[in-house]
Structure 1
Amino acid sequence: MSLPAPFQHLRAAVFDAYGTLFDVHSAVQRHAATVGAEAAALSETWRQKQLEYTWVLSLMGRYAPFRDLTERALDYALALHPGVDPALRGPLLDAYASLDAYPEVPATLDALRQAGLQTAILSNGDAAMLDEAVRAADLGGRLDAVISVDPAGIFKTSPGAYDLAPERLGIPAAEILFVSSNRWDVAGAAAYGFVPVWVNRAKRPDEYRDLAPARVVDRLDALLHP
């Protein structure tokens, strides 16, 4: 297969991991019956706090492994939703370590590689956390690189975090497709110089209009079609 015309000059496709390849809400969904009526709210709080911690630490010039922030965010979410049994903390963290990949992910990665692109992850996740997630979803053979921001010591959207992909792949940013479900991440990728695609699964309104994506899709396999 060949890529759609606007992307035919590209040499790599780099993906955000959490929320883009992996469904961050699948951890709570696995335990939804036990969590109860607050399952959706708990999952949203957990995710939002996890992201907030990355932004706040980066602005302070501090850093902590993403796994630690994920645990802290869950602790906050459980405290905010006291109707949820705190004994679920361990099972929820175990589930987060092996999140479900979205169903179209394996075939999309295969198709991009068949089109001649390198495929990679660039994620806020720490290396061990990413390795566990990739292994659980059986994606290892479909990725040329799994890149954590750990060596940069700062989270996306810092240019220092994005630097890691061109350095690792040996490809200029302008020849890298960067794919994320997080609009803030797409904005950061656009500012950095990647060719960004927003996977807007939830059909959210646009923001950061001065840092627009090259394309908006509602699922990953739409990348393969004009």
Structure 2
Amino acid sequence: MPQQSIKAFVFDVYGTLFDVHSVGDNCEKMYPGKGTEISKTWREKQIQYSNLHQLMGNYQTFLTVTKEALRYAVKQHGEQLDQNSEKELINSYLHLVTYPEVKEVLSQIQNKKIAVFSNGSHDMLDPLIKESEISSLIHQLISVDEIKQFKPTVASYDYALQQLGVQREEVLFMSSNGWDISGAKNYGFQTAWINRKNLPVEELNLEPNSIYQNLQGILEWKD
């Protein structure tokens, strides 16, 4: 059940506020008939490579990780990637589309602290937010690049809490990524899983406080 002590609404970015698969149109334009699958593999490898770099103690910015993941995805699907194509596809990550309900929901919770907390490095995150329709509705941008610890490490969420200046139980953390919700719940944040794909809860004994199909559901936490 929603708690009435929330002071900070903290959002993951990719897949939560912005549709990462909106890059699929550009992928399809360059690789007809394979755009959707390349986009899917790109996202999967992006997450996997973030985890691998973290585990290997070899931190790279999310921009580097995104390039690595794209190169792999294109190769996996039997295509070639030249410098111009890579530049254009990476640039599309700076112009992702927000989900339909995002702007309206954010506009209704402006009485709380609104932050984004992302694995995205500032060279990707800042232009994305700045050029989006929700730029004026975000009060604080927090990137793991500032501490070089990818989510879902405990250190990453602890850093975010320090930047927010509230108590951990006063944070409602929202993500569409089950692994991110598990990490935030493990740290002690209250969590709302934005389960856009109707997936099962991760089997980690870290149940989210709430589950919603989209961000509209979080409005019951706003008072």
TM-score category, normalised to shorter length: over 0.9
Do structure 1's residue 111 and structure 2's residue 108 form an aligned pair? yes
Cα RMSD of the aligned pairs, angstroms, is 1.7
8 Å CA contact 2:191, 2:208 repeated in 1: yes
Q: How does 1:152-167 map to 2 (within 5 A)?
A: 152-167=147-162
Aligned pair 1:189/2:200, yes or no? no
- What per-residue deviation string (whole Å, max 9, x for no partner) do you get for residues 6-40 of structure 1? 23210010000111111111012245244221111
Match of 1:72 in 2: 68
Aligned identity (percent) is: 37
**Structure 2 residues not aligned, in runs of 5+:** none
Matches for 1:51-200 after TM superposition, within 5 Å? 51-83=47-79, 86=82, 88-113=85-110, 116-200=111-195
Contact 1:97 1:133 in 2 (8 A): yes
Which residue does the alignment assign to 1:36? 32
AA in 2 matched with 1:12: A
1:217 aligns with 2:206: no
Whether the 8 Å contact between 2:27 and 2:39 is mirrored in structure 1 is no
Shift of 1:89: 2.3
Task: List per-residue Cα deviations over 1:182-216 (Å, max 9, x = no partner).
Answer: 00000000000000111111111222351000011
Q: What amino acid is aligned across from residue 211 of structure 1 in structure 2?
A: L
Q: What residue number does 1:23 align with? A: 19
Hey, what's the Cα distance between the residues in 2 that align with 1:164 and 1:14? 13
Aligned length: 220
Query: 2:198 and 2:12 mapped to 1: Cα distance?
Result: 18
Checking the alignment, whether the CA contact within 8 Å between 2:173 and 2:192 is kept in structure 1 is: yes
The range that moved more, 77-86 or 99-108, is 77-86
1:143-173 Cα offsets, whole Å, 9 max, x none, are 1100000121110011111112221110011
Cα distance, 1:224 vs. partner? 1.3
User: Would you say 1:204 and 2:182 are equivalent positions?
Assistant: no
TM-score by length of 2: 0.93
Which range moved further: 193-202 or 57-66? Answer: 57-66
Counterparts in 2 of 1:81 and 1:31: CA distance versus 1, 3 Å: closer
